[in-house]
Structure 1
Amino acid sequence: MKVYKSKIGIGLVLVIVLVFIISSYNLILDKSWGGLLFMTLTAAFIAHLFHQTYYTIDGNILKVKSGFLLKQSYEISQITRITETHNPISAPAASLDRLEINLDNGKNVIISPKLKYDFIDDLKKRNPKIKIELRTRSKAKQ
């Protein structure tokens, strides 16, 4: 069993932090302590999601976990294609440097493993039929 942590994108973190700082500043000026508490709890929740988002390859199963909200499993034998993407759609990914995994049943999942090339290699070992569409294969980018 191999666990791959999600890459945490600095750009995504900076945008979220900026939004929280501006919103919190306005809430402090308005003395809206309930709103500030809500913002603090929301920030803690997002930090938890970022820290607890990871992907596990266990035999022929890919498990995707994001905090306590999401826990999904996929048969690696059903993966047909892996494509690099920067799609900002909501996904169990803490970075915009993402991989879209397509399954033979028409479903897909978008994830962001920190060691994406190792992750892809691990999946290809289990299912050599997976088509890979990457912009670059430089391991220095990991």
Structure 2
Amino acid sequence: MKIIPVKFGWEILLLVYGIFFWMIYLNFSEPKAGSSILISLYFIFVTVCIFGIRYRIDDQTLKIRNGFFGTTKIDINKIERLEKTWNAISSPAPSVFGRVEIYFENNSIVISPKNFDEFKTELLKVNPNIVIKE
């Protein structure tokens, strides 16, 4: 098993936690019943979604844990190509910079490994036929 470190971008953290602090400010300036519970639930949900993301290689499978949303398992031998991307779609990639799109079986997923070269090397050990577009 090889754990692939996740890249957490300050821009994503600033956005989601900025909303959290804005909600706290509004709650203190005009308190409303139940808003503290809603704010707490938002904080927990966002924190688990962001910091619950994990990437791992087990034998010939890339496992991408998506926080609350389960785990995506990709057979590394079915990965066709890796491509660095700026694609901003919602994905298990908690950074805008350093995103990588993985193409496999007429599908794709965007992740943000902390070290692209290390990630690429680990995948190529299993499947040397992966096309790399940087």
Query: TM-score, with normalisation over the residues of structure 1?
Result: 0.86
1:1-142 paired onto structure 2 within 5 Å = 1-96=1-96, 97-103=98-104, 105-134=105-134
Could you tell me how far apart the structure 2 residues matched to 1:19 and 1:46 are?
10
Task: Name the amino acid aligned to 1:5.
Answer: P
Aligned residues: 133
Gap runs ≥5 in structure 1: 135-142
Pairwise CA distance, 1:30 = 1.8
Could you tell me how far apart the structure 2 residues matched to 1:116 and 1:39 are?
35
Q: Percent identity?
A: 31
Which 4+ residue blocks in structure 1 deviate beyond 3 angstroms?
none
Q: Is the 8 A contact 1:27 1:33 kept in 2?
A: no
Could you tell me how far apart the structure 1 residues matched to 2:33 and 2:124 are?
51
Gap runs ≥5 in structure 2: none
Could you tell me how far apart the structure 2 residues matched to 1:22 and 1:109 are?
31
Could you tell me how far apart the structure 1 residues matched to 2:31 and 2:129 are?
59
Could you tell me how far apart the structure 2 residues matched to 1:54 and 1:117 are?
18
CA RMSD between the two structures? 1.4
Query: TM-score, with normalisation over the residues of structure 2?
Result: 0.91
